[in-house]
A and B are shown apart, each in its own frame.
Chain A
């Protein structure tokens, strides 16, 4: 069961904070929805630094980051 974090429309550092909270809860995979390149890169950088695998799907003007162990 994928956990979804909807961080669309939230300004930094909210997307990263919410993603980190989801990671701490430990239910993988985690889907993080963002709608800016900035948020996409911030979440990706945080997740990769924490050792998780990140896959990015582009959906129009939004991005879905899928985090896995």
Chain B
């Protein structure tokens, strides 16, 4: 039974099913309360968690998102049931931590991770085209490095505790979400009362949908970065068929739920500063390619016991803290007195994206193994 299921999930139909399920659940999450065109966004949600913990003080984006917790636990459950839980770590951990930071800085410049880029596109937000184009360029650069021998080194099996740290950390976050402690006057745990952080589906639904997606994604190795990378690297379309299914199904569900509005300007929680949408996602794409997985995949790997992926996740969460504290994150378009004010990045944000790109290029160039 397990063998048959494993083979199904490893097949093209398996990953198409996973993509289709995500394409249904994500728009539903938006319909049930998550922010517009943000049924799922790994970067934004990790940023919201950072905010809830007080790692940044942007009051409109603070909430411990159960979807992220569900992604990790769903993967843990799948890995345990199918005997794939393996505690492993040791592959250039500090590099992965900083790659996570750079990935988050890039994603927040665009105001979305690749998952949200797909969902924004499925909601008619055409700025996502720039984002996805940038993502592809960033991944292409990563592929060049991979082809010339780039590697972060081997990971090694290690003590069980290492593998359990991320799932347990997620459990602690869940406790904080449930108990809502306040650690000091005017202090965390914060829960936004306005803005995107205040928009969320019911807790149980967010958690259950997250678990379902985590399970399916672990079984099918779903990865939005890998999808583009494998096409560029070796014309392999296995992963991208899952991503394609996500996009198509999400668009159809959005049409049914009336969640589609085509355009560039004034899209929800988005900006139309084309160059920085492109460059931000190029940085994110390069960082994901160098780290071996999109932000969703890093959560699923962490759930399976991969301590290095767990560090990447922590890099993303703390990176979100820096991003908002240092005014690096993108500002959405706004309509002020009837006139459109195009959002975008502060000078700090632009410098940060360029710095991140240089840093990732240095990592790519210097961490190569000569054959």
Contacts and interface: CB of A to CB of B under 8 A. Distances in A.
A19 to B, nearest CB: 11
A37 interface: yes
A41 B10 contact: yes
Nearest to B369: A14
Contacts of A13: 146, 226, 229-230, 233, 292
Interface string A1-41: 00000001111111011001100000000000000111001
A14 B234 contact: no
Contacts of B292: 11-13
Interface string A44-61: 011001000000000001
B6 interface: yes
A17 B147 contact: yes
B192 interface: no
Interface residues of A, number: 19
B238 interface: yes
Contact of B6 (A10, A20, A37): A37
Contacts of B155: 9-11
Contacts, number: 44
Contact of B146 (A8, A17, A46): A17
A16 B344 CA distance: 39
A53 B10 CA distance: 19
Main secondary structure of the interface of A (DSSP, over half): helix
Contacts of B238: 45
A10 B233 CA distance: 17
Looking at A8, A12, A41, the one whose CB has the most chain B CB atoms below 10 A away is A12
A36 B155 CA distance: 11
Interface string B146-158: 1100011011100
B146 A9 contact: no
Contacts of A46: 234, 236
A17 to B, nearest CB: 6
B234 to A, nearest CB: 7
B121 to A, nearest CB: 25
A58 to B, nearest CB: 12
Contacts of B229: 13
A47 to B, nearest CB: 12
B297 to A, nearest CB: 9
Contacts of A38: 221
Given A38-B221, A46-B236, A14 B84 contact: no
Contacts of B293: 11-12
B327 interface: no
B91 interface: yes
A11 B221 contact: no
B226 A12 contact: yes
A10 B221 contact: no
Given A12-B293, A38-B221, A46-B234, 5 more contacts: A10-B155, A14-B146, A17-B233, A36-B86, A45-B236
Interface in B119-161: 146-147, 151-152, 154-156
Contacts of B6: 37
A8 to B, nearest CB: 7
Contacts of B151: 10, 14
Contact of B156 (A9, A16, A45, A49): A9
Interface in B1-39: 6, 10
A37 B5 CA distance: 13
Contacts of A21: 371
Nearest to B7: A41
A45 B7 CA distance: 12
The residue in B147, B154, B293 that gathers the most chain A C-beta atoms within 10 A of its C-beta is B154
B311 to A, nearest CB: 13
A10 B371 CA distance: 15
Contacts of B221: 38, 41
B234 A9 contact: no
